[in-house]
Amino acid sequence: MTLQGAGSPYSVPTAVPDAAKVAAGSSGFLLTNIAGYYTDYHGVDVGVVKRLSNRWMARVGFSYNNAREHFTSAQGLYDANGNPTGTLTEPLIDGGQFAPESGGSGSGTIFVNAKWQFNANGLYQAPYGIELSANVFGRHGYPYPLFRQVSLGVDQNLQVLVTPQIDSLRFPNLWDTDVRAAKTLKINMVDLRLILDVFNVFNANTALVRNDNIGSPTFDALAQNLSPRIARIGVTVGF
């Protein structure tokens, strides 16, 4: 399969099963362990917690993650059906990132793999019983692998990976900031807690999912982005 990228053509090898041999085997499959296949994970987590004292508390956490797939023998570079063609769900790249595809979102393909993640939150007890709090979350952009639907004989249509790695392209890094103000009022035997939440304070519109089929007329069209700024007023009643 020949493609055009960055002004010059390049090729992505694909494999078509021998139809005669498949028919001779009654179209069955032989399931075996994958020779020399394993995954590894290297990561570090750092967290700092300040307990509530002097009217404030905070927590900060950071993690770095590196999850990879390895194929120590050429015999292992085959998908579940024995095809050596790299696809979205089975890139078959030694040392490539392990990025499982999530399911059920309804918005498109999402490959869960962030090499770093950051979270910080805190609370301050202001005068007049008002509580002010905030949460800041950030993470590495998830992979944005590109594919093309290709017919490979009896294996039918496969989503062939056309980027060198599953994470050769990534979505922008995601940042989200939420804030809250709350106050509790006591009326006789009833506690009323008034709450104001603002989500995505800076109204970021980070892309999360795009059409990654290079053969589609809507290729690269935005399918999902971070929800816009939302304000919510709430009341909690306690007896």
Helices (H) and strands (E) in the chain, counts: 1, 15
CA distance linking residue 105 with residue 151, whole number of Å: 26
Mean pLDDT for 183-196 is 90
Q: How far is CA 116 from CA 50, 96, 137, 230, in A?
A: 22, 17, 11, 26
Domain ranges of the chain: 2-24+34-238
pLDDT range class, residue 21, cuts 50, 70, 90 = low
CA distance linking residue 79 with residue 18, whole number of Å: 16
With tokens 């050429």, the residue in question is 74
Higher pLDDT, 199 or 85: 199
22: buried, middle or exposed (CB in 10 Å: 19+, 13-18, 0-12)?
A: middle
What is the overall mean pLDDT for the chain? 87
- pLDDT the model gives residue 24: 63
Per-residue pLDDT reduced to its tens digit, 129-142:
999 999 999 999 99
Per-residue pLDDT reduced to its tens digit, 103-130:
665 666 899 999 999 999 999 999 999 9
- pLDDT the model gives residue 84: 82
| Neighbour order of strands in the sheet with 190-199 | 37-53, 56-71, 116-126, 130-139, 174-187, 190-199, 230-238
The answer to whether 111 and 101 are in contact (CB under 8 A) is yes
Closest CA to 185 of 195, 174, 173: 195
The answer to whether 177 and 199 are in contact (CB under 8 A) is no
Entry pTM: 0.83
Give me 235's structure tokens: 């009341």
Tell whether the torsion through CA atoms of 126, 131, 132 and 138 is positive or negative.
positive
Per-residue pLDDT reduced to its tens digit, 24-35:
666 666 666 677
Mean pLDDT for 75-92 is 81
Mean pLDDT for 151-159 is 79
Mean pLDDT for 39-67 is 96
> At residue 84, what are phi and psi to the nearest 5 degrees?
-85, 10
- pLDDT the model gives residue 71: 86
CA distance linking residue 70 with residue 93, whole number of Å: 7
